[in-house]
């Protein structure tokens, strides 16, 4: 009897990790399933599943489970989980050919909206306060949130605020990706906010513009509550986020770019811009981009930082790797040259022998940006004296 109990104990001990693993997978799946349901109005997954999938079999449920868990735990581009799930549906003939593209689009929206993501590098400081998940824009099927970081020391005079806009081809990443930048700026005495914006293919690039402008309007409308100077808001972005940041600096209060995200009686102007690897969208060199994203030349001009530069544009600091293969360095050169022609302050800093992602995993770019914002704010203060 004793030997039998001992064997049972050993058997339970050996299979216990697998039981725990299965339970953990169940928890991950169930929690993610609930998140998908909560975002159904925006993503439309279950409506698409009902319309496109002809047989919700046990095999399909298992494939969906694997897809959900993969997306939930993915910290980088979740594309690798979409294709196998689509292939499963095709190979099992449970999706009609005319629906394949629509189904993949829904899976892409779900993946980009709900995957885990991670910061571009690790940064922590004990001299900042955090205000999380603040809703700054509301649409019929979507609410957008920001995280706000403030210096801990008492704020005697209103301080400038920097809006931090993540990159990712207007398709991937969340506000957590740029959180180290915001925390760094807050540790140096700025207020700083990381923002989410709606992503392609659920929306168009102009909707990303609407969202970035809504974040500036919200900060300005709520500046007094957080000790922020409403007359001095800066913005920093990288890659796609740099396009949004630069456009904020060149299209202050342009009504057709404001959108409907709230606080429409408040200005969306910014007082300084840092663009890291900035797409300029010069119409003469961006025809391929327009075709890739299905934009007319007029639509491209609307969202082009380069085409909107004028004498009223905000001062800008451009930082670009000299061997960038994703966003041609000529983009930053073009913006810089046109700024100079318009008589507006601009800096162009080259990072020698570095490709597109030189700002990931390092604080090199945010240190340069912090110095620029500090000098611009000090100049602003001097002008008030």
**DSSP string of 240-299?**
HHHHHHHHHHH-TT-GGGSTTSS-TTS----SEEEEES-----TTT-HHHHHHTT--HHH
If asked whether residues 214 and 317 sit together in one domain, one would say yes
Q: Helix, strand, or coil here: 3?
A: helix
If asked whether residues 165 and 61 sit together in one domain, one would say no
Phi then psi for residue 232, to 5 deg, are: -140, 95
Phi then psi for residue 146, to 5 deg, are: -130, 160
- Residue 153 belongs to a domain: yes
Q: Helix, strand, or coil here: 217?
A: helix
207-252 per-position pLDDT tens digit: 999 999 999 999 999 999 999 999 999 999 999 999 999 999 999 9
If asked whether residues 169 and 304 sit together in one domain, one would say yes
CATH of the domain at 216: 3.40.50.1820
- Residue 123 belongs to a domain: no
- Alpha-carbon span 225 to 278, nearest angstrom: 33
Six token digits for residue 380: 């602003």
Last residue of a domain, one of 114, 136, 154: 114
User: Where does the pLDDT of residue 154 fall: very low under 50, low under 70, confident under 90, or very high at 90 and above?
Assistant: confident
- Residue 231 belongs to a domain: yes
20-67 per-position pLDDT tens digit: 444 578 888 999 999 999 999 999 999 999 999 999 999 999 999 999
pLDDT above 60 for 339: yes
User: Where does the pLDDT of residue 3 fall: very low under 50, low under 70, confident under 90, or very high at 90 and above?
Assistant: low
If asked whether residues 344 and 274 sit together in one domain, one would say yes
Across 103-127, average pLDDT: 95
- Residue 119 belongs to a domain: no
The 8-class DSSP code of residue 123 comes to -
- Alpha-carbon span 151 to 126, nearest angstrom: 9
Average pLDDT over the chain reads: 93
**Domains: count for the chain:** 2
pLDDT above 90 for 162: yes
If asked whether residues 99 and 160 sit together in one domain, one would say no
Six token digits for residue 86: 């689509």
The answer to whether 217 and 263 have CB atoms below 8 angstroms apart is: yes
If asked whether residues 134 and 108 sit together in one domain, one would say no
User: Where does the pLDDT of residue 372 fall: very low under 50, low under 70, confident under 90, or very high at 90 and above?
Assistant: very high
- Alpha-carbon span 208 to 172, nearest angstrom: 12
Q: What is the pLDDT of residue 32?
A: 96
User: Where does the pLDDT of residue 1 fall: very low under 50, low under 70, confident under 90, or very high at 90 and above?
Assistant: low
If asked whether residues 15 and 147 sit together in one domain, one would say no
- Residue 122 belongs to a domain: no
Q: Which domain holds residue 108?
A: 2-114
- Residue 316 belongs to a domain: yes
If asked whether residues 138 and 94 sit together in one domain, one would say no
DSSP state letters, 61-85: HHHHHHHHHHHHH--S-THHHHHHH
If asked whether residues 272 and 159 sit together in one domain, one would say yes
If asked whether residues 309 and 367 sit together in one domain, one would say yes
| Strand order across the beta sheet in which 346-351 lies | 128-139, 142-151, 191-195, 159-165, 228-238, 272-276, 316-321, 346-351
- Residue 236 belongs to a domain: yes
Six token digits for residue 271: 């007082």
Angle between helices 58-73 and 79-91 (to 10 degrees): 170
pLDDT above 80 for 362: yes
If asked whether residues 6 and 85 sit together in one domain, one would say yes
pLDDT over 70, % of the chain: 93
pLDDT above 60 for 363: yes
If asked whether residues 48 and 105 sit together in one domain, one would say yes
Q: What is the pLDDT of residue 18?
A: 41
């Amino acid at each position: 009897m004793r030997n039998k109990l001992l064997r049972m104990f050993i058997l339970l001990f050996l299979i216990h990790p697998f039981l725990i693993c299965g339970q953990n997978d169940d928890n991950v799946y169930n929690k993610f399933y609930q998140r998908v349901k909560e975002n159904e109005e925006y993503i439309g997954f279950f409506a698409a599943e009902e319309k496109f999938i002809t047989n919700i079999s046990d095999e399909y449920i298992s494939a969906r489970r694997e897809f959900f868990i993969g997306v939930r735990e993915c910290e980088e581009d979740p594309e690798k989980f979409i294709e196998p799930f689509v292939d499963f549906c095709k190979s099992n003939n449970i999706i009609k050919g005319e629906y394949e593209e629509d189904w993949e689009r829904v899976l892409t929206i779900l993946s980009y909206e709900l995957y885990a993501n991670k910061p571009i590098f690790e940064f922590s400081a004990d001299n900042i306060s955090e205000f999380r998940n603040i809703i700054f824009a509301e649409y019929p099927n979507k609410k957008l949130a920001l995280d706000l970081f403030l210096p801990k020391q008492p704020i005697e005079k209103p301080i400038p605020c920097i809006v931090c806009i993540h990159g990712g081809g207007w398709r991937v990443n969340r506000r957590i990706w740029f959180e180290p930048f915001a925390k760094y700026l807050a540790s140096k005495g700025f207020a700083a906010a990381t923002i989410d914006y709606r992503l392609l293919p659920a929306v168009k690039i102009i909707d990303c513009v609407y969202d970035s402008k809504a974040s500036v309007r919200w900060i300005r409308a709520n500046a007094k509550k957080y000790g922020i100077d409403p007359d001095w808001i800066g913005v920093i972005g990288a890659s796609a986020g740099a396009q949004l940041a630069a456009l904020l600096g060149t299209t202050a209060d342009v009504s057709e770019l404001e959108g409907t995200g709230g606080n429409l009686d408040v200005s969306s102007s910014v007082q300084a811009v840092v663009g890291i690897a900035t797409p300029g969208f010069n119409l003469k060199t961006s025809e391929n981009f327009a075709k890739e994203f299905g934009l007319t030349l007029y639509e491209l001009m609307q969202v082009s930082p380069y085409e909107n530069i004028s004498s009223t544009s905000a001062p800008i600091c451009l930082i670009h790797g000299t061997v960038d293969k994703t966003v041609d360095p000529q983009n930053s050169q073009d913006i810089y040259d046109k700024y100079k022609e318009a008589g507006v302050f601009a800096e162009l800093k080259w990072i020698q022998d570095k490709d597109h992602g030189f700002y990931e995993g390092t604080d090199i770019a945010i240190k340069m940006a912090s110095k620029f914002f500090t000098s611009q704010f000090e100049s602003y203060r001097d002008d008030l004296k």
